[in-house]
Chain A
């Protein structure tokens, strides 16, 4: 009898599946697309600092629309060499210099588009059932990886500002955390994470809130991993 009871308690204390406590996880379907900006329970995704039993619930990148700037510049740069022949001095340049000049031009275009793509692809925000991880990939020589446990999150707010963000449903999510500053900046007095231009900011905030509640519930019920 007592054995059965202890077995039941163990079963009750088992960690719940994300779909059991999260409306957001239930609402969205899993996707295999590696270039998605918003992916619930992404398949095949793993992070270096992830624990063995830790589940990744959400992957967020900046909204795809934010790539429009570098894509437009790239398209303009691709077609610009057509205008070179109009330049009066162009015919006086030796053919080999003309050819290598165009090659160089396209290399610079490739560099610009490559940096734009990598900045978008690697700059991501990840929510697991234990922590949130912010990977900042500002440019090719700067990256910053910050993570915070869910139980250290104090406040989550989101902002959608402007016509295009409102129409396309993207905005910023600000996550206020407890304790000392997390970043490398000694001037930072208010520890926080900010995710910019994330798709469905309300859903991101809701998922984090659901995780905070679940974390509190786990503590009350004494559930452990």
Chain B
């Protein structure tokens, strides 16, 4: 195997890892969306005095997850 082939195989290895990273970040975005939906549902079911704060926190958390996914796209 010459050095060019070695380089290509190393490059493709990191490409696979990059895709793995991106899938993981995407799954986190889905998780954050589920958290937001559940918090919204639960705050409809019960108001335990923290509803406003929890809703804001869950929305911020989703935005944060999307931001990190974009960061991963840029950095990797």
Residues of A within 8 A of B42 (CB): 122, 137, 143
- Taking CB atoms and an 8 Å cut-off, the chain A residues in 35-73 that contact chain B are 42-48, 59
Instruction: Say whether A164 faces chain B, with CB atoms less than 8 Å apart.
Output: no
Interface residue B45 (Cβ < 8 Å from any Cβ of A)? yes
In the complex, which residues of chain B have a beta carbon less than 8 angstroms from the beta carbon of A75?
Answer: none
The answer to whether A114 and B35 touch across the interface, beta carbons within 8 angstroms, is yes
B38-A114 in contact (CB<8A): no
CA distance A44 to B48 in the complex (A): 7
Tell me how far the C-beta of B68 lies from the nearest C-beta in chain A, rounded to whole angstroms.
6
User: What chain A residues lie within 8 Å of B63 (beta carbons)?
Assistant: none
**Chain A interface residue number, banded:** 20 to 34
Asked if residues B34 and A114 are in contact (CB atoms below 8 Å), the reply is no
Query: Total interface residues on B, using CB and 8 Å?
Result: 28
On whether the beta carbons of B47 and A45 are closer than 8 Å, the reply is yes
Q: Is the CB of A44 within 8 A of B76?
A: no
Contact A103–B68 (Cβ < 8 Å): yes
By a CB distance below 8 angstroms, the chain A residues around B71 are 100, 103
CB contacts under 8 Å to A, within B34-65, are 34-35, 38-39, 41-42, 44-50, 61, 65
Closest A residue, CB atoms, query B31? A111
CB of A145 within 8 Å of the partner chain: yes
Interface membership of A107, Cβ < 8 A: yes
Asked if B25 and A34 sit within 8 Å, CB to CB, the answer is no
Residue contact B47 to A46, C-beta cutoff 8 Å: yes
Q: Given contacts A104-B25, A111-B28, are A140 and B34 in contact (CB under 8 A)?
A: yes
Can you list 21 A-B contacts (CB < 8 A)? A34-B50, A42-B49, A44-B47, A44-B49, A45-B47, A46-B46, A47-B45, A97-B17, A97-B18, A97-B21, A100-B71, A104-B24, A104-B25, A107-B28, A111-B28, A111-B31, A118-B35, A118-B39, A121-B48, A143-B38, A143-B42
Q: Contacts A100-B76, A118-B38 given; 19 further ones with Cβ under 8 A?
A: A34-B48, A34-B49, A43-B49, A44-B49, A45-B46, A46-B46, A96-B75, A97-B18, A99-B75, A104-B21, A107-B65, A108-B28, A118-B35, A121-B50, A122-B46, A140-B31, A140-B38, A143-B38, A145-B45
Identify the A interface with B (CB < 8 A): 32, 34, 42-48, 59, 94, 96-97, 99-101, 103-104, 107-108, 111, 114, 118, 121-122, 124, 126, 135, 137, 140-141, 143, 145
Q: What 5 pairs across the A-B complex have the smallest Cβ distances?
A: A34-B49, A44-B49, A34-B50, A46-B47, A122-B42
